[in-house]
Structure 1
């Protein structure tokens, strides 16, 4: 995972946020559901438009007053997990 790469939602996903702080993504190709916690939902919503990891880190620091090193590690792990589950992909534009 490159922190400077722009990522976007996979076109094969559907997202719903049944209540604030809780979300579910359906990966249409696999039929698997993936639950997202509050921070992952926040990042998911930021990925409505192609966004790079560095921008996501800055937003997490701003929103949650997280230490930079912790935010960077958490965002990298989240993006890697979302990529692995084919919920996001590198942006094409």
Structure 2
């Protein structure tokens, strides 16, 4: 995941509702919601990005250590991938 470019899955529909992101994965019919930093990461993924690019941006915006942000972001992106919300950008 470190050097792969990730993007929002084309199978995911998303909309913003009162500051949260509400999503539907078309292939599974599962709904998901994101808020706070998670919603911000989703916004960053509007442009395909690597883990390092996303982590650097979030760490700067939220004033947290890059190392901790990278670990947390990697775990979160793995969750999004398992849910079918992000995939590799070729």
**Matching residue of 2:8:** 9
Number of residue pairs matched? Answer: 90
Tell me, yes or no, if structure 1 residue 19 matches structure 2 residue 18: yes
Q: Report the Cα distance in structure 1 between the residues aligned to 2:35 and 2:12, rounded to whole angstroms.
A: 17
Q: Which runs of 4+ in 1 moved over 4 A?
A: none
Q: RMSD across aligned C-alpha pairs, in angstroms? A: 0.9
Q: TM-score, length-normalised on structure 2?
A: 0.94
The answer for unaligned runs of 5 or more in structure 1 is none
Q: TM-score, length-normalised on structure 1?
A: 0.92
SS in 2 for 1:49: coil
